[in-house]
A and B are shown apart, each in its own frame.
Chain A
Amino acid sequence: MAQGLKEIRRRIISVRNIRKITSAMKMVAAAKLRRSQQRAAAGRPYADAVQGVLARLAVHAGVDHPFLVERPAASTLAIVVTADRGLAGAYNSNLNRAAAQLLRGAAQPRVLAVGRKGRDYFRRRGMELAGEFLGLGDEPRFADAQRIGQEATRLYLAGQCDRVHLVYAQFVNAVTCRPVAVRLLPIAGEELRGKGTKEGVGGEYIFEPEPRDVLEHLLPHYISVLVYRALLEAKASEFGARMAAMDNATRNAGELIDHLTLVSFRMRQAAITEEIAEIVGGANAL
């Protein structure tokens, strides 16, 4: 009996230590979440500007480009943005499941893994990996997005894939994120033009140099911007998910401590009662 009591007391101490860690992780995630939201907001003016220029280019110059040409979908590449680390609840597995679902119907599916969790998942399932980008850290840079975008466009232009999808967690709010799959390549031309006419810019534009040349430089940028935005949103979602998961873990630890404490009190009381009974029994026997 006394042995069991000691055991329970030890468990209480260890759960208490775990609770300290999870609650620290929760606070760290909350702070990082705030930062990544700020970064996502800071990147928006540029993204809007690139989209605007591209739309006007499409409306006024009506240009064509390999990125805008639909090809029969013989092979599909999914860029899967996951976290490098776990302890974020269902965050990573939801993303992997969304990506797997996207690729299930596709011919010749391949994965470009951004983040360790996605890479490990698809490697385990024997999926062909077109490449991997790990260790982008808590604050992905635009240069990272450019490298990913360049790799995807290289594969696309080389004819190694006819569709490029981007799977990432869209940030809804601190506790909600939604895994989404957006098509990166080919770019839907009507979509670009649609945005241009909505803004209603009249008059002729001067392009220096040729519209074609501007477009050629701008489109890779556009791809990088989309990837960059996905990376930032994914980071914010990851921290949100981790914060929620650690909040749950902290609460569960608290409940467990309460329960174990109650059990330990009961055991102690039972031991005292038994001792008294023994003493009384002994006294009566005299």
Chain B
Amino acid sequence: MAGVLMVEVVTPERLVWSGPAEMVIARGSEGELGILPHHAPLITRLVDGSVTIRRASGAPLVLGTSGGFLEVKPDRVTVLADHAELPEGADGGADVDVGGEE
């Protein structure tokens, strides 16, 4: 199936990850969601857990998140988490501030 999702994972303090993906799996307040391109517009609350981002190549990226919201537009997914952690050693996708604390 054609189409890609532009995914952005943001927290109040920084942009955690952004890039293209084929599918996003997240746990919403009403249950687990799998989002493919051309999904209907959706806004939901997220529960603490993980957000899985399946990319065209490579292993799926699993981010630990707590709190927040998920917004879906047909070609775009935005994860607004209170906190989000990339797995160890994952590359941050496009233009990401890896700095954080020191």
Contact = CB atoms under 8 A, between A and B. Distances in A.
Interface of A: 38-39, 42-43, 45-47, 49-50, 52-53, 56-57, 141-142, 145, 201, 203-209, 213-214, 217-218, 224-225, 228
Contact of B45 (A47, A56, A209): A209
A49 B15 CA distance: 11
Given A45-B10, A209-B29, A213-B45, A52 B15 contact: no
Contacts of A38: 97, 99
Residue among B14, B43, B45 facing the most chain A CB atoms (10 A cut-off): B43
A45 B73 CA distance: 16
Contact of B43 (A47, A56, A203, A224): A56
A236 to B, nearest CB: 15
Contacts of A217: 45, 69
A72 to B, nearest CB: 33
B73 A42 contact: no
B12 A207 contact: no
Nearest to B99: A38
B30 interface: yes
Contacts of B29: 208-209, 213
B44 A43 contact: no
Given A52-B71, A53-B80, A201-B73, A46 B42 contact: no
Contacts of A53: 43, 69, 71, 78, 80
B43 A49 contact: no
A53 B11 CA distance: 14
A41 B30 CA distance: 33
Contacts of A39: 13
B41 A206 contact: yes
Contacts of A204: 40-41
Nearest to B13: A142
B98 to A, nearest CB: 11
B8 interface: yes
18 contacts: A38-B97, A42-B15, A45-B8, A45-B10, A46-B11, A52-B71, A53-B69, A53-B78, A56-B71, A142-B13, A203-B40, A205-B41, A208-B42, A209-B29, A209-B30, A214-B69, A217-B69, A224-B12
Residue among A50, A141, A224, A225 facing the most chain B CB atoms (10 A cut-off): A50
Given A38-B97, A141-B13, A218-B69, A49 B28 contact: no
A217 B15 CA distance: 21
Contact of B12 (A46, A52, A205, A214): A46
A57 B69 CA distance: 12
A47 B12 CA distance: 7
Contact of A207 (B8, B14, B44): B44
A42 B12 CA distance: 8
Interface string B60-74: 000000000101010
A47 B42 CA distance: 19
Contacts of A141: 13
A71 to B, nearest CB: 28
Nearest to B15: A45
A38 B10 CA distance: 15
Given A42-B97, A49-B78, A52-B71, A203 B12 contact: no
Contacts of A201: 41, 73
Contacts of A57: 43
Nearest to A213: B45
A42 B69 contact: no
A217 B81 CA distance: 12
